[in-house]
């Protein structure tokens, strides 16, 4: 508010040439308008970065994803969306992989419900002594899965067809994930 008042006063004070109070200083006025436009564009870009992904509002994406998350992942669409975007990857891809790996389109798998593993990730600490990794919270499991997918993104693998052979042994994995992505985007 104060910034806008200062800009207005500065603009008003510099509009007129000092020689003649009635002559408008067009150069000064044009420079002030240009500065104001640049400031607005900068604020607008910041707003878009914070609120949009690929031209779509982040809240809209989160709501679309939430429609298909059930059981343990119910209500985690916003978390998945925001975290995916924060690391620079497509939230639809992340959610599509999670749906494929967890079965949370219906009822989440045992691995997801008991061990918070949403990516079918192996490692330690093991889930109930098994080879699949256990996470203390569902948010930790989501972050780990997204970070793993993002590691492929950073190598230039950004589609399910490119990621699939590295991520899963099932040759139909990319097609299955893509089917989820199509549903999520509707």
Work out the average pLDDT over 68-96.
Answer: 94
Banded model confidence at residue 159, pLDDT cuts 50, 70, 90: very high
pLDDT exceeds 90 at position 173: yes
pLDDT exceeds 90 at position 144: yes
Banded model confidence at residue 49, pLDDT cuts 50, 70, 90: low
Whole-number Å distance between alpha carbons of 118 and 111? 8
Q: Could you tell me if 135 and 115 are in contact, meaning their C-beta atoms sit under 8 angstroms apart?
A: yes
Least confident of 16-30, 104-118, 137-151: 16-30
Q: 3-state class of 52 per DSSP?
A: strand
């Amino acid at each position: 508010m104060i910034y806008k008042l200062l800009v207005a006063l500065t603009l008003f004070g510099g509009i007129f040439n000092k020689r003649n109070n009635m002559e408008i200083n067009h150069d000064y006025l044009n420079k002030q308008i240009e500065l104001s436009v640049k400031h607005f564009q900068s604020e607008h870009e910041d707003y878009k970065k914070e609120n949009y992904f690929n031209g779509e509002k982040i809240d809209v994406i989160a709501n679309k994803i939430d429609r298909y998350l059930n059981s343990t992942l119910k209500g985690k669409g916003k978390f998945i969306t925001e975290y995916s975007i924060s690391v620079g990857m497509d939230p639809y891809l992340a959610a599509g992989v999670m749906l494929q790996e967890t079965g949370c389109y219906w009822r989440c798998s045992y691995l997801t419900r008991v061990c918070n593993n949403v990516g079918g990730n192996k490692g330690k600490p093991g889930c109930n002594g098994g080879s699949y990794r256990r996470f203390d919270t569902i948010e930790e499991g989501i972050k780990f899965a997204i970070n793993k997918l993002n590691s492929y993104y950073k190598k230039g693998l950004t589609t399910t067809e490119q990621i699939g052979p590295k991520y899963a042994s099932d040759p139909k994995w990319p097609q299955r994930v893509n089917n989820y992505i199509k549903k999520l985007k509707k």
